[in-house]
Homo-oligomer: A and B are copies of this chain.
């Protein structure tokens, strides 16, 4: 019944009906060094063990033991606590698939054993309902999260299946899915889950099993949305629950940002398998609405704490923004699928922006602490709203864990599977979407093709690709020119060339490659000031600094004594100078600029326009660091958007 291990990564669209590009086998791409290798190593050696310890400490694993009858006690945590374990398991699977580790394997075996033990005879598995509310099983669709947890179980199971040929979790998942189908399949209970997730999981399960009923069930759960039935329980209304409009009729991203984008991710998966154009048309409308009206410059999404939700168009406050880490990760998942469908670089561009800024701001540089909320402006000390645990208080550093711990293991599974997202194949060749020191080892027309990529990206714009092995045939190598890039140069074996840039935004080099061919793409990486649309009231008159894929911020630690970021204004006529620095052992490139900090107004809130005197000259040296690195030296004040000093 189950297809043999295919060593694919999180998304296997190799047999999908609608896809411009095909995901590569999981082991086809290896990150070999540089920026992302360091993150993957920290994730493997620090974050995953830390996560296991936290899942024990917070009671998630104990919940399973209680459900399995191995311990007595009360359920701990939020009712979706099981999903934290599943996401952590998925992350471990991708890591163990890359190379074994006895400690991680033992932790995974413990968790898998508990999952197996907790499952009921009929297939049901959800420790909250098993322990705390057996009578409420399958009654609370608004907020119950049962199908949501099932979805994460399925994804973890698929990861163990693909990365390790370990089908212990898959057996559990399939039994649970059978039970779910009995309850909610065609002609059965006409319900779905307030938190989308099961949709993408079932499509992926179909890609593993090839069973049409798994895909049909995903479609059912998509089609059941939009009837305004949900929202009574949690008090957030049907928009929060993604039940306010049928998917095919949706024109705007709305409500809980994670729910919205987990749904669009599943719908895009469904489109790939079934090809229903009405679904894809809706996805393109939603993507346009999100990127043109509701997107932070970091790639973050979700303007409001209230309902963890999207705001109104152009409602993008820098200080009270939510920008949940999980929402940024959802955006990665969705943009990856849109890229596979369309082959257009705009989705890889947003993937890159979101990865380096919106997601990477979550983990501390040491790999054992996480932000849940990712603000773009923090005022001194006490007003950090960087964790839901502290929504009305403040945090001095990234918390080691969160009572609602959805984000940390989500970061872990993205980092451990990051190689999956670097490159794809099409019928004509290979496409490189994200630049990292890596090795691509795949087969073209049944013959080995090996390409090595060397780069200091994201600090350096030079990307050197060397063809190590190739079949004797013509094939194309497509390289993304990022949207932020203002100029680039290409050499082939030392000679400048001007390859065609296709309508999808890729430089396409179509030739009969030979082993030893050396292609160098050099992307200009001059720092630049970025301006917001004047409709974005919250940051009107402000500028941000970007360099390459990185959004920068000014943090209080790096500024001259006495400079209050509340009052800082930056000179946009002056130069932006790059300077290598070390931040807690992490080499990075900072940017020097100049500005002024004028606190003369501090006692008056409002004044007549003609009473304002001329301001001081912009003689204060300021330093910006990559936004992802903020808050690692204690959270004081920080801003991505700084007011622009008036000219003259």
| Across-interface contacts of A312 in B (CB, < 8 A) | 319, 379, 383
Q: Are A379 and B319 in contact (CB under 8 A)?
A: no
Given the known inter-chain contacts A306-B306, A531-B608, A566-B314, please indicate yes or no for A292 contacting B239, CB distance below 8 A. no
> Which single residue of chain B is at the shortest CB-CB distance from A378?
B312
With A and B bound together, what is the CA distance between A92 and B606 in angstroms? Answer: 37
User: Is A315 at the interface (CB under 8 A from chain B)?
Assistant: yes
With A and B bound together, what is the CA distance between A313 and B608 in angstroms? Answer: 21
Q: Are A605 and B531 in contact (CB under 8 A)?
A: no
> Which single residue of chain B is at the shortest CB-CB distance from A288?
B603
User: Is A457 at the interface (CB under 8 A from chain B)?
Assistant: no
Q: Among B293, B534, B603, which residue has its beta carbon within 8 angstroms of that of A643?
A: B534
With A and B bound together, what is the CA distance between A537 and B236 in angstroms? Answer: 29
Given the known inter-chain contacts A239-B392, A643-B540, please indicate yes or no for A535 contacting B602, CB distance below 8 A. yes
Given the known inter-chain contacts A317-B320, A319-B315, A392-B237, please indicate yes or no for A605 contacting B567, CB distance below 8 A. no
User: Is A305 at the interface (CB under 8 A from chain B)?
Assistant: yes
User: Is A247 at the interface (CB under 8 A from chain B)?
Assistant: no
Per-position 1/0 for A230-254, Cβ under 8 A of B: 0000001101100000000000000
With A and B bound together, what is the CA distance between A166 and B643 in angstroms? Answer: 60
User: Is A532 at the interface (CB under 8 A from chain B)?
Assistant: yes
User: Is A295 at the interface (CB under 8 A from chain B)?
Assistant: yes
A interface size (C-beta, 8 A)? 64
Within 8 A of B (CB), among A296-323: 297, 304-307, 311-320
With A and B bound together, what is the CA distance between A606 and B643 in angstroms? Answer: 15
| Across-interface contacts of A316 in B (CB, < 8 A) | 605
User: Is A536 at the interface (CB under 8 A from chain B)?
Assistant: yes
Best-surrounded residue of A317, A534, A607, A612 (most CB of chain B within 10 A): A534
Q: Are B608 and A530 in contact (CB under 8 A)?
A: yes
With A and B bound together, what is the CA distance between A306 and B529 in angstroms? Answer: 34
With A and B bound together, what is the CA distance between A539 and B534 in angstroms? Answer: 12
With A and B bound together, what is the CA distance between A311 and B379 in angstroms? Answer: 12
With A and B bound together, what is the CA distance between A291 and B605 in angstroms? Answer: 7
| Across-interface contacts of A314 in B (CB, < 8 A) | 379, 566
Q: How far is the CB of A425 from chain B (nearest CB, A)?
A: 32
Q: How far is the CB of A338 from chain B (nearest CB, A)?
A: 18
Q: Are A317 and B538 in contact (CB under 8 A)?
A: yes
User: Is A604 at the interface (CB under 8 A from chain B)?
Assistant: yes
Q: Among B318, B601, B608, which residue has its beta carbon within 8 angstroms of that of A533?
A: B601
With A and B bound together, what is the CA distance between A609 and B486 in angstroms? Answer: 13
| Across-interface contacts of A318 in B (CB, < 8 A) | 537
| Across-interface contacts of A293 in B (CB, < 8 A) | 605
Q: Are B383 and A605 in contact (CB under 8 A)?
A: no
| Across-interface contacts of A239 in B (CB, < 8 A) | 392
Chain A to chain B contacts (Cβ below 8 Å), 18 pairs: A292-B602, A293-B605, A295-B605, A297-B605, A305-B306, A312-B319, A312-B383, A317-B317, A317-B537, A528-B609, A529-B608, A530-B607, A531-B607, A531-B608, A533-B604, A535-B601, A537-B542, A544-B606
Besides A528-B609, A530-B606, A533-B607, 8 other A-B contacts (C-beta < 8 A): A292-B605, A317-B538, A531-B607, A531-B612, A534-B567, A535-B567, A537-B542, A540-B540
Q: Which 10 A-B pairs have the closest CB atoms?
A: A541-B541, A529-B609, A312-B383, A533-B601, A540-B541, A531-B609, A533-B605, A528-B608, A530-B606, A535-B566
